[in-house]
Amino acid sequence: MSNTRAFPLIGIYGGTFDPVHHGHLRVAEEVSENLNLDHLYFLPAGQPRLRDLPPAANQHRRVMLRRAIRSNARFFLDDRELRRTGETRSVESLREIRSNVEKNGKKRICFIVGADAFLKLPQWYCWQELFELCHIVIVNRPGNVLIRYAADLPSVLRSECEDRWADTARGLSESLSGRVYVAQTSLLAISSTSIRAAIQAGKSVRYLLPDNVISYIIRRKIYAGGE
């Protein structure tokens, strides 16, 4: 057994959440449970650097997320990127979060990203600095390349991650930052893109996302030519 002290873990779950759906929520629940996270913060991107601007306005995505997570005492919303002007850069948010964590206690940060986003990591702004700020937890997504081993990665990323892999939550909590962990989660074939398309086509999206989020989308006519 390791004699290294283990510290509590907190999760930072990045994405556009446009809209948030049960696939996102189930991933958050399973990662929180499997890693025994103290808290998990949803961090919606304001103006993503490597993808199109989200169709829903920032204020709507903020409200939808708050509605979706309000019954879970472990889930919180971090809306700093929605409030920030200009292009969203994850490293800037994680610098701020790391600074706050260091002021308020010794916890380890787990930055949760989809496998598709992780494969593009070398395109991110100051991407190698991320390993100095947090651990990276990869969640596989239906319909995308599954990451199981280092061999699944492009060469530059494989080289960077060569000595960083962690097999257990303990491996994350014992290290300050820089570890990479592949989380085992349910692969629910739900996507925000298909939900938006269904809404635009006038089809039901019941059971794909929380009812209180659906009611907000319908009332505000989001994704259907409304606000």
The pLDDT tens digits of the residues spanning 121-164 come to: 999 999 999 999 999 999 987 766 567 655 678 889 999 998 99
Average pLDDT rounded to a whole number, residues 48-64: 92
pTM over 0.85: yes
pLDDT band with cut points at 50, 70 and 90 for residue 226: very low
User: Residue 71 above 80 pLDDT?
Assistant: yes
> Is residue 138 in some structural domain?
yes
Residue 41: partners with Cβ closer than 8 Å, 6 or more residues away: 10, 11, 12, 13, 75, 76, 77, 78
pLDDT band with cut points at 50, 70 and 90 for residue 6: confident
> Is residue 225 in some structural domain?
no
State the residue for tokens 């014992």. 174
CATH number at residue 148: 3.40.50.620
Quote the tokens at residue 210. Answer: 């929380």
> Is residue 227 in some structural domain?
no
Quote the tokens at residue 89. Answer: 């850069």
Q: What are the E-state strand segments in 123-188?
A: 135-139, 180-183
d(CA 168, CA 183): 9
> Is residue 59 in some structural domain?
yes
> Is residue 226 in some structural domain?
no
> Is residue 1 in some structural domain?
no
Residue 67: partners with Cβ closer than 8 Å, 6 or more residues away: 210, 212, 213, 216
| CA 196 and chain centroid, separation | 20
> Is residue 66 in some structural domain?
yes
**Taking the CB of residue 115, how many other CB atoms lie within 10 A of it?**
17
pLDDT at 153: 83
Average pLDDT rounded to a whole number, residues 16-41: 97
Summarize pLDDT for 165-190 with one digit per residue, the tens: 999 999 999 999 999 999 989 989 99
User: Residue 12 above 70 pLDDT?
Assistant: yes
Could you tell me the CA-to-CA distances from 168 to 141, 158, 178, 183 in Å, in that order?
A: 20, 20, 14, 9
Q: Give how many domains the chain has, as a whole number.
A: 1
Range of the domain at 211: 9-220
> Is residue 115 in some structural domain?
yes
Using DSSP's 3-state secondary structure scheme, residue 88 falls into strand
Mean pLDDT over each residue of the chain, to the nearest integer = 91
User: Residue 35 above 90 pLDDT?
Assistant: yes
Quote the tokens at residue 13. Answer: 């779950």
Average pLDDT rounded to a whole number, residues 201-224: 96
